[in-house]
Chain A
Amino acid sequence: MAAIFQGVGAAAALSSSPSNSFDSKKFVSSPCRSFSVRKGASFAVVRSDGRVNLNPKSRRAQQLISNAVATKSDSAAASSSSKPGHELLLFEALQEGLEEEMERDPHVCVMGEDVGHYGGSYKVTKGLAKKFGDLRVLDTPIAENSFTGMGIGAAMTGLRPVVEGMNMGFLLLAFNQISNNCGMLHYTSGGQFTIPIVIRGPGGVGRQLGAEHSQRLESYLQSIPGIQMVACSTPYNAKGLMKAAIRSENPVILFEHVLLYNLKERIPDEDYICNLEEAEMVRPGEHVTILTYSRMRYHVMQAAKTLVNKGYDPEIIDIRSLKPFDLYTIGNSVKKTHHVLIVEECMRTGGVGASLTAAITENFNDYLDAPIMCLSSQDVPTPYAGTLEEVTIVQPAQIVKAVEQLCQ
């Protein structure tokens, strides 16, 4: 019964957007769902641009692609085009996106520590220095504040730099430049100078990296006016967001996660971008809206398996755009399920979850049947010990419990 109910719900969800142009035959999902046509992949991902009101030009060809959960590799290609797509790891997807943009526009350049000859400490810029030269892929000295500022000055004068923080935590040293110049210069110059810079790097809690290498800078940077923040979570959206960020005229901060670089997925061969301001519908559902991003998406997916077995039907949205929030996708979901659970890796105080809670309460309070629940990391410097580190972040068991509590 649950399966049928889900199937109906999902079909209704899919057909509710009149302008959706995806072919329902290509909709892929887990074998135990009833609304699937093709089997193979574990969860379906619907690109969230099946929407009425948006400018069609801002959307790329709508395709469905299967999402790779960390533990499973994908077998079926879900591209709606004739090309088979190609499989790669997330860091390779980032590299591909970066390389394609560098080929497309000679003003795109990379700056950061060890991005050139070393190929990037997470190999995102591997091979690029050989191909594009030492000036286009610039190995900087260890001076985050200054080379970020240098990137901003270069962006103001016509280049499109991609500044890499070897770890997002290091960008704390660049806070002066990111806040004062990156975010504000366009405004204080009366619109005269644009800063089409991309600042990217890995953050989040890894495997016993210690407190300082496990920071979530999105919570500190989110207040800065004039910037956009996005977080990638799959090879598909990693490449898409990287390209969109580079092409954007706004300063964009792209948050990657240390533990997600080796995710594998099959992505399309043809050119595509992911819209910077949109959220991603990971799994449509009826009972509860789970909002998450980056690595927590996978903890949520894991919890979802348990939840489904227990008879729940969670709707899972990867918010992707941390600033600004996609209130349309989120709002539609809240209006449907009336229950919201936010699962994030930021700390309890002042994180993205806190802002999201406020935004939803402000905009959709009338649609809520229960207070919003927000699961965040503990307000604790991430301990080195594995057992302690495990309990500072949100684990799937907690997510299951929270949903059960929420949907009583």
Chain B
Amino acid sequence: MNGASCAAKISTQPFSLNPTSPTSHDNPLVSPKPTSLFLGSTRKLRLSSSSKLNLHRRSGTVVAVSDVVKQKKSKSTPSLLITKEEGLELYEDMILGRAFEDMCAQMYYRGKMFGFVHLYNGQEAVSTGFIKLLKQQDSVVSTYRDHVHALSKGVPARAVMSELFGKTTGCCRGQGGSMHMFSREHNLLGGFAFIGEGIPVATGAAFTSKYKREVLKEADCDHVTLAFFGDGTCNNGQFFECLNMAALWKLPIVFVVENNLWAIGMSHLRATSDPQIYKKGPAFGMPGIHVDGMDVLKVREVAKEAIGRARRGEGPTLVECETYRFRGHSLADPDELRDPGSHLNPFFSQVQKCHLIQCRAASLAAEKAHYAARDPITALKKYLIENSLASEADLKAIDKKIDEVVEDAVEFADESPVPSRSQLLENVFADPKGFGIGPDGRYRCEDPKFTEGTAHV
């Protein structure tokens, strides 16, 4: 289904909510269907454009992923996608993400953190599914919805919570905040406030990996970079420019689209001429995959292949994860924006509008209920128990452990000191000579007022 057919349907019935994927929603973790992931689109597009481009190069990349994953799908038996250890690791990571974000909401409304805070509830499967497959040296680049990416990558909950409280013990010394989580140790390259601006940075990190292997001759350098971003970003120039460069130079990067259908109040369908984002991959010469982002095991399977491709030097992949955020865009967003009346064509009559509002309200309520029923954590829990990979007790123990971790993080953040004035000028320049030479002939950074943070720059 594409935008045109949706528009054609507008006058007769409500928007269909999920035009992109015919994935089975009822039993997400049982018998994954071979046809669900690719919809044949990657192959069709390859054939139409192969005449213009280097057939050898393109066919090698496009066919590989779909073939390999398709084979895996038909060969795998439903209940052995993961081991017990893996299952518990995935569960713990998702619970940590959920509990942490819930605590953030509480803390925000209690006035412990301010500004724009964007929560990840509902999307945990994407972060866990991808990031748990990475090594420490692999890089992750995120957006402003980055708390859970940070936690999955290994940044301690304490450091993230402190950062949110603006304390000096935060991962960025309190200077970044919710939208700028960085960790050199864990190779989390941000945290970006403007959408799209992290994607080139991720492309650069992937470039470094390739450079290290080919120029610096660090033969075993196979570091992969994951770039996470949303559906709104996929209409931004930086997205397309980087798809081009990554495919051109076969950079070891995976572009992960967290398509939660909404950019604040702008529905993906209203903003995008062709809402099927994964189709844009083959246009640039890389495989485009669509996956059910509410199903951590499906995400993990796709991620394994995409990351593997990048590690082997076969180039980038575009993965579109269909997911949903249970909360509003940010804590400042009352989430009334996903409201019934906002999509109506102004030329409709009042009667039409009333009818549509009713249908729309019903359909939006249905949308939220639909995805709530596909809560990735509930689904994984069900899978683990039904397949005897873990008991209720095991999972409850994890829940309890995570509760303690999050409580501890809040306590730690509460007790941590706020940054002192002297921190103000400390990290503006890596080399503080950049502040220049003062009237007295000395470098200004040598002025004691500078270290006190009271100097005028």
A residues with CB within 8 A of B: 51-55, 58, 106-107, 109, 133, 135-136, 140-141, 143, 145-159, 176-177, 180-181, 185-196, 225-226, 228, 248-250, 276-278, 321, 323-329, 331, 363-364
How many Å from the CB of B318 to the closest CB on chain A? Answer: 16
Most chain B CB within 10 A, of A51, A145, A195, is at: A145
State the 6 A-B residue pairs at the shortest beta-carbon distance, nearest first: A153-B204, A149-B200, A324-B436, A190-B173, A190-B172, A189-B182
Across the interface, do B435 and A324 meet the contact criterion of CB distance under 8 Å?
A: yes
List chain A residues, Cβ under 8 A from B173.
190-191
Given A277-B437, A327-B436, A154-B211 contact (CB < 8 Å): yes
List chain A residues, Cβ under 8 A from B241.
141, 143, 145-147
List chain A residues, Cβ under 8 A from B177.
188
16 interchain pairs (CB within 8 A)? Answer: A54-B443, A141-B248, A145-B200, A146-B199, A147-B241, A150-B201, A153-B189, A156-B201, A159-B211, A188-B177, A189-B191, A191-B427, A191-B430, A193-B189, A250-B430, A276-B434
How many Å from the CB of B17 to the closest CB on chain A? Answer: 33
Given A136-B215, A156-B205, A187-B175 contact (CB < 8 Å): yes
How many Å from the CB of A108 to the closest CB on chain B? Answer: 11
Given A159-B211, A190-B175, A249-B431 contact (CB < 8 Å): yes
Pick from B139, B201, B211, B440: contact of A135, CB under 8 Å = B211
List chain A residues, Cβ under 8 A from B210.
135
How many angstroms from the CA of A156 to the CA of B439 in the assembled complex?
33
Across the interface, do A154 and B443 meet the contact criterion of CB distance under 8 Å?
A: no
Q: With an 8 A cutoff between CB atoms, is B429 at the interface?
A: yes
Q: With an 8 A cutoff between CB atoms, is B171 at the interface?
A: yes
Interface contacts beyond A53-B441, A150-B200, A226-B428: sample of 17 additional A-B pairs, CB < 8 Å, sorted by A: A135-B210, A140-B245, A143-B244, A146-B241, A149-B204, A150-B204, A150-B207, A150-B242, A153-B200, A153-B204, A156-B204, A185-B182, A185-B190, A190-B175, A277-B443, A324-B444, A328-B437
How many Å from the CB of B441 to the closest CB on chain A? Answer: 4
Q: With an 8 A cutoff between CB atoms, is B129 at the interface?
A: no
Across the interface, do B427 and A187 meet the contact criterion of CB distance under 8 Å?
A: yes
Given A109-B211, A180-B197, A327-B439, A188-B202 contact (CB < 8 Å): no
List chain A residues, Cβ under 8 A from B201.
149-150, 152-153, 156, 181
Across the interface, do A328 and B430 meet the contact criterion of CB distance under 8 Å?
A: no
List chain B residues, Cβ under 8 A from A193.
182, 184, 189
Give 1 or 0 for each of B240-251: 1 = CB within 8 Å of chain A CB. 011011001000
Q: With an 8 A cutoff between CB atoms, is B183 at the interface?
A: yes
Across chains A and B, the number of contacting residue pairs, with CB separation under 8 Å, is 204
Across the interface, do B430 and A135 meet the contact criterion of CB distance under 8 Å?
A: no
Pick from B176, B204, B216: contact of A106, CB under 8 Å = B216
List chain B residues, Cβ under 8 A from A53.
440-442
Across the interface, do B436 and A325 meet the contact criterion of CB distance under 8 Å?
A: yes
Across the interface, do B180 and A154 meet the contact criterion of CB distance under 8 Å?
A: no
List chain A residues, Cβ under 8 A from B202.
153
Q: With an 8 A cutoff between CB atoms, is B208 at the interface?
A: yes
Across the interface, do A187 and B428 meet the contact criterion of CB distance under 8 Å?
A: yes
Closest residue of chain A to B206 (Cβ to Cβ) is A153
List chain A residues, Cβ under 8 A from B434.
226, 228, 248, 250, 276-277, 324
List chain A residues, Cβ under 8 A from B199.
146, 149
How many angstroms from the CA of A188 to the CA of B183 in the assembled complex?
11
How many Å from the CB of A107 to the closest CB on chain B? Answer: 8
Closest residue of chain A to B227 (Cβ to Cβ) is A153
How many Å from the CB of A103 to the closest CB on chain B? Answer: 13
Q: With an 8 A cutoff between CB atoms, is B237 at the interface?
A: yes
How many angstroms from the CA of A157 to the CA of B224 in the assembled complex?
12
Across the interface, do B189 and A190 meet the contact criterion of CB distance under 8 Å?
A: no
Across the interface, do B208 and A149 meet the contact criterion of CB distance under 8 Å?
A: no
Closest residue of chain A to B187 (Cβ to Cβ) is A157
Q: With an 8 A cutoff between CB atoms, is B192 at the interface?
A: yes
Across the interface, do B207 and A154 meet the contact criterion of CB distance under 8 Å?
A: yes
Across the interface, do B436 and A321 meet the contact criterion of CB distance under 8 Å?
A: yes
Pick from B208, B436, B438: contact of A157, CB under 8 Å = B208
Across the interface, do B441 and A54 meet the contact criterion of CB distance under 8 Å?
A: yes
List chain B residues, Cβ under 8 A from A148.
200
Closest residue of chain A to B246 (Cβ to Cβ) is A150
- Give the size of the chain B interface in residues (CB under 8 angstroms): 63
Across the interface, do B211 and A194 meet the contact criterion of CB distance under 8 Å?
A: no
Across the interface, do B242 and A363 meet the contact criterion of CB distance under 8 Å?
A: no
Across the interface, do B203 and A149 meet the contact criterion of CB distance under 8 Å?
A: yes
Given A192-B184, A325-B436, A331-B439, A226-B429 contact (CB < 8 Å): yes
Q: With an 8 A cutoff between CB atoms, is B433 at the interface?
A: yes
Across the interface, do B244 and A176 meet the contact criterion of CB distance under 8 Å?
A: no
How many Å from the CB of B205 to the closest CB on chain A? Answer: 5
Across the interface, do B436 and A189 meet the contact criterion of CB distance under 8 Å?
A: no
Q: With an 8 A cutoff between CB atoms, is B367 at the interface?
A: no
How many Å from the CB of A388 to the closest CB on chain B? Answer: 34
Given A154-B205, A157-B139, A193-B184, A328-B192 contact (CB < 8 Å): no
Most chain A CB within 10 A, of B197, B216, B248, B439, is at: B439
**Which residues of B416-457 are within 8 A (CB) of A?**
426-431, 433-444
Across the interface, do A153 and B244 meet the contact criterion of CB distance under 8 Å?
A: no
List chain B residues, Cβ under 8 A from A191.
173, 426-427, 430
How many Å from the CB of B395 to the closest CB on chain A? Answer: 35
Across the interface, do A188 and B182 meet the contact criterion of CB distance under 8 Å?
A: yes
List chain B residues, Cβ under 8 A from A135.
210-211, 214-215
List chain B residues, Cβ under 8 A from A188.
172, 175-177, 180, 182, 190-191
List chain A residues, Cβ under 8 A from B208.
153-154, 157-159
How many angstroms from the CA of A329 to the CA of B440 in the assembled complex?
10
Given A189-B180, A328-B439, A143-B431 contact (CB < 8 Å): no
Q: With an 8 A cutoff between CB atoms, is B193 at the interface?
A: yes
Most chain B CB within 10 A, of A153, A154, A185, A194, is at: A153
Closest residue of chain B to A331 (Cβ to Cβ) is B439
How many angstroms from the CA of A177 to the CA of B176 in the assembled complex?
17
List chain A residues, Cβ under 8 A from B191.
188-189
Across the interface, do A192 and B183 meet the contact criterion of CB distance under 8 Å?
A: yes
Across the interface, do B197 and A149 meet the contact criterion of CB distance under 8 Å?
A: yes
Across the interface, do A52 and B441 meet the contact criterion of CB distance under 8 Å?
A: yes
How many angstroms from the CA of A54 to the CA of B446 in the assembled complex?
10
List chain B residues, Cβ under 8 A from A106.
215-216
How many Å from the CB of A351 to the closest CB on chain B? Answer: 18
List chain A residues, Cβ under 8 A from B175.
187-190
Across the interface, do B437 and A326 meet the contact criterion of CB distance under 8 Å?
A: yes
Q: With an 8 A cutoff between CB atoms, is B170 at the interface?
A: yes
How many angstroms from the CA of A194 to the CA of B182 in the assembled complex?
12
List chain B residues, Cβ under 8 A from A364.
439
How many angstroms from the CA of A154 to the CA of B214 in the assembled complex?
15
List chain B residues, Cβ under 8 A from A228.
429, 434
How many angstroms from the CA of A324 to the CA of B433 in the assembled complex?
9
Pick from A133, A153, A186, A190: contact of B429, CB under 8 Å = A186
How many angstroms from the CA of A318 to the CA of B438 in the assembled complex?
17
List chain B residues, Cβ under 8 A from A250.
429-431, 434
List chain A residues, Cβ under 8 A from B237.
143, 145-146
List chain A residues, Cβ under 8 A from B433.
58, 276-277
Closest residue of chain A to B423 (Cβ to Cβ) is A190
Closest residue of chain B to A55 (Cβ to Cβ) is B443
Q: With an 8 A cutoff between CB atoms, is B238 at the interface?
A: yes
List chain B residues, Cβ under 8 A from A278.
437
Most chain B CB within 10 A, of A195, A278, A324, A325, is at: A324
How many Å from the CB of B315 to the closest CB on chain A? Answer: 15
List chain B residues, Cβ under 8 A from A363.
439
How many Å from the CB of A173 to the closest CB on chain B? Answer: 9
How many Å from the CB of B355 to the closest CB on chain A? Answer: 43
Most chain B CB within 10 A, of A106, A277, A278, A325, is at: A277
Most chain A CB within 10 A, of B210, B245, B429, is at: B429
Q: With an 8 A cutoff between CB atoms, is B194 at the interface?
A: yes
